[in-house]
Structure 1
Amino acid sequence: MEAILPGAPWLIAHRSMLGINKPYKVTLNEQDYVLWQNQQGEVFALDNICPHMQAPLSDGWICQNKDAIACPFHALEFDGQGRLHNCGKVSSQPLLNPLEIVIKDDCIWTYGGYDPKIPIPDLISKVSAGMSFLGVAGEKSIRGTFLDNISINYDYNHQSGTHRELFGIKANRIPVFEYDGYWAKVVQELDRNDTTWNDILRNPLILTAPKTYTSTLEYAFPALTTFRATFPIGEVLQVHALYPETPTQTKTFVLVYIQPKHPIFKPLLGKFVLSAVTTVIEQDTNAIETSYPRQPAKIRLPNEEIMFHAQKLYHEW
């Protein structure tokens, strides 16, 4: 297949997703890779297919004394450079291609073997300054094109339907939309419906959500969408990552950062955010996977120029 947005930097994982000495499989533009991290924090990435009988290396195990991965079929060992270790000897040439990666702020980026077209963004370090990393939520492969998935991140009307029960939004205003190249910023003002007893019984943490709140979203096209908002018990930052696995499959996960107003609020704020992110991803996934094939829209809604901006960047890449 022709790669989707060749030359784009893709955020494929966070260190916390790899664990220690555990294989982690990544599919990017129909190519499978295996990543692992040793106890010293070094990260390695190789083609996932064993060159002997094509077993998936991600089903194997890590040989800690060699920083090598073992094939699950025949226990053949390959180091981070793709060289075979066998009977005390190391092959002079790699038998597997390493995937070039860049680690920035504990985030693992790659161009997937293509020449860079744009630099790796510094958006995460910028928006997370002074905040604590909480964890990763909403990791999921979604049956849908990359364009469909990225469009929903720039769609400021779908929360009134897709996330109706979760957020209960009754008014949505966009006083700020600005962009410069592949960066964009949106300020969103949301009014929530009155909270009912059923809402509280279903989700007591809803009491921590304000009746009206303002959120700031910044984008680093095509990989990142960041959402930052302040609640009565603290500040929340979500970094949504997207990358194309195949023409019809898209991977997403969300890095979550928090800044509680007081340390006592950290467990409550963390639980609220992780739960909400997981629900949002599930609802967005359902919206994408149950939609019929895209046709030209016959209806125009407010603020859709933001979504059209992202689609224009995609088509003009």
Structure 2
Amino acid sequence: MINKEQISADYQQIQDEICAALEQVDGQAKFEEEKWEREGGGGGRTRIIQNGNILEKGGVNFSAVHGNLPASIKKSLQIEQDDFFATGISIVIHPNHPLVPIIHMNIRYFEMPSSFVEGRQPVRWFGGGIDLTPHYVIDDDARFFHQYLKSVCDAYYHDFYHRFKLWADDYFYIKHRNETRGIGGIFYDRLTANDELSWDNIFEFSKALGRSFIPIYTELVNRNRTKEFTDDQQQWQYQRRSRYTEFNLVYDAGTKFGLETNGRIESILMSLPPTAKWIYNYQPQPGSEEEKTLSLLKKGINWA
């Protein structure tokens, strides 16, 4: 059976692959790496790329941390033990071009080592997801994104895409704005082995999802990076970034987990954009592309 050391090592390899590919996509900027240690146990590799040809700010972070959970996290997870191990990759990319979308992905694994007792069901699970936040929703791009994710999901289990797509619609939802963060994607948590899925199957799915990032984002960047844009479109990009920021600071579970487990603040908040604007009571022009985008930030749209 797979163990946490193998999972951690394979995730680090995927981090290396993604960083090398993103540098090639950008053509100018290089990742800067900072290795860090967590006071409570473990550490990680934060890798940030900035001010590139197309990638204004991005992070591809790996962590493998362990220690004791705060009481608030134990309560929210509804578990009794307080020891934990968690490893994963978290990615957020903010492009400098308003027609190239923001993208987020994470793959992660969690376990409670003290629960691995013979004759008992251990506490362990996988989670993850990938979602797209276009500043402007382009129908063909949205369909490509969702169809690619469906093909990855379908290779492992017949209802993964349907189930995880609905989960993403609900999760990436800005309640106080009554709009989704973007066009969704897939999201899952606490995925465990059962009669139809082994731990090895779930781990392979996790890695396949991680390795879907580069073909997906490379295609979306190259489709749009040479298109001309106006200053008004750039201002709309900054406005949409503000919604992304609101979601991450108010609702995102990973941000909350990192803050409440004494995580590294720079790594946790690397998801925030370099520039965002909050324009009071902004209303798009009727019939504009901006209005069209807002009309598509809804749950339940079938892109695949």
Q: TM-score, normalised by structure 2?
A: 0.32
Q: Which has the higher helix share?
A: 2
Q: Which has the higher strand share?
A: 1
- Radius of gyration: which is bigger? 1
